[in-house]
Structure 1
């Protein structure tokens, strides 16, 4: 989605104004959840632009920018489960760093926002992180599993795809990921003032959307950067399938704003709770 539908931006800005009027705490945190490739980053940038035009100091932070280093995930792969070498699932982010950023913003001080280089699969050097000036009023926090709840242990028993069946036959990986989601991630998600869901028409469209993202990465990639082919993309998104399906099933009933998308990422319905 190269450009946000203006009705979607208007609807989220209504959530921003509502959050600002409901609490004296600053910044208010507007959470955007959506499957890979659903347009979260595009919407976040549009919100940042709109906030600027309305005189509101804002910043954007992605859950993707909190990924652990490649080396740290390799250590998890050795010590916990080989599937944790792949970034993305709960347990592969530095949630403490995200909470520190929020604490610093709420204290009114300037803060450096973490950034992650997906092509190199490692964080951007800290010296190159953008600085948010004091007085931030709105933080747009976006992520594929933002606001997700863990599943009941009994719901983890049956694999949802070949990756789980063949590479996590005993369920250890998915139980560990579920435990992580139920722990520190909930402390981060509790800081969200308004939750917005970009609801894909189904998980089946995610492969095409993620392929489009990868093509965009390829355009920007340097000679040392890694870009996935179609088979690698299919395996990559399989890591996300379980939680994505749960989000699509249960989050529409509790999100503050649901933007239902068609396969071209155009809004079909925009509904506030």
Structure 2
């Protein structure tokens, strides 16, 4: 895949979106691509994560109090600072110095801006990773029926999912318009998303007892926030993604589609 990415770099910065559900390995793939692009192709690659442009806890609480309580939980469209994301991507593309935002998930807050790492000099590739990077909104009629217990019990009138969908169809499309390439990581099914996210949390539970660590039931509830859009992306995105990496039950890639080219792994 690194050669495929490098082939798209000519005399401009390429912004590559990495889309994948929770636990699919987006961050790991981004770091690997960054290292290989530099080592093999001599290209400088910056990593930008959708997770690092969350709104502050206070801003999300304000939305939870005025729009819907579920907006207190970070993750869905409507809980990010989209303007910040656009500014970061454009600065990297234009070769201007920019401090790359960082978010502290343990504290549920951004790191102080003074601690953000500064990127200077050329940037050949921007690896922009996130669970809904490149997503498009659903039709309004597709939002009517709840897809899981969270929507049925905590969003019975649909206010939350309609708001999230409107946000996705609005300013988020300007953010995703910055992409030159879109790569999708596709797990076998949604049960794997639950399982892989729980594996991540189990590793945290083994080393920490802090309040940020979730129980298995809390993990299941958390992942439900993303189920609707994840299932829709699996249906809609493959027809326009530039590459699809299909993952097996054991998390390893089993097939990679690069445009018209299909490779078994």
* TM-score normalised by the chain length of structure 2: 0.93
Report SS of the residue matched to 2:156: coil
Report SS of the residue matched to 2:75: coil
How many pairs were matched up?
A: 258
Equivalent position of 2:190 in the other structure: 203
Q: Please state how far the C-alpha of 1:158 moved relative to its aligned partner.
A: 0.4
Q: Please state how far the C-alpha of 1:25 moved relative to its aligned partner.
A: 3.0
Indicate which of 150, 153, 161 corresponds to 1:163: 150
Equivalent position of 2:225 in the other structure: 239
Indicate which of 10, 24, 49 corresponds to 1:62: 49
Equivalent position of 1:83 in the other structure: 70
The 5 Å alignment of 1:177-256 reads: 177-218=164-205, 221=208, 226-256=212-242
Equivalent position of 2:252 in the other structure: 266
Quick one: distance in 1 between partners of 2:206 and 2:149? 31
Quick one: distance in 1 between partners of 2:109 and 2:199? 21
Report SS of the residue matched to 2:182: strand
Assess if the C-alpha contact under 8 Å between 2:18 and 2:182 holds in 1: yes
Matched, 1:104 2:61: no
Assess if the C-alpha contact under 8 Å between 1:15 and 1:194 holds in 2: no
Equivalent position of 1:152 in the other structure: 139
Q: Please state how far the C-alpha of 1:219 moved relative to its aligned partner.
A: 5.7
Assess if the C-alpha contact under 8 Å between 2:6 and 2:37 holds in 1: no
Quick one: distance in 2 between partners of 1:38 and 1:224? 24
Ranges of 4+ aligned residues in structure 1 off by more than 2 Å? 215-221
1:125-175 CA distances to partner (integer Å, 9 max, x unpaired)? Answer: 111111112211111000001111100000000000011011111111000
Residue segments in structure 2 that go unaligned for 5+ positions in a row: 260-265
Q: Please state how far the C-alpha of 1:48 moved relative to its aligned partner.
A: 0.8
Quick one: distance in 2 between partners of 1:143 and 1:100? 17
- Aligned-CA RMSD value: 1.4
Residue segments in structure 1 that go unaligned for 5+ positions in a row: 1-10
Indicate which of 105, 109, 113 corresponds to 2:100: 113
Quick one: distance in 2 between partners of 1:66 and 1:215? 26
Matched, 1:18 2:7: yes
Task: Evaluate the alpha carbon distance shift between residue 219 and residue 100 of structure 1 in structure 2; reply closer, same or farther with a 3 A threshold.
Answer: farther
Quick one: distance in 2 between partners of 1:212 and 1:235? 15
Assess if the C-alpha contact under 8 Å between 2:53 and 2:101 holds in 1: yes
Report SS of the residue matched to 1:239: helix
Task: Evaluate the alpha carbon distance shift between residue 246 and residue 72 of structure 1 in structure 2; reply closer, same or farther with a 3 A threshold.
Answer: same
Q: Please state how far the C-alpha of 1:199 moved relative to its aligned partner.
A: 0.3
Higher mean displacement: 240-249 or 204-213: 204-213
Equivalent position of 1:3 in the other structure: none
* TM-score normalised by the chain length of structure 1: 0.91
Quick one: distance in 2 between partners of 1:76 and 1:30? 30
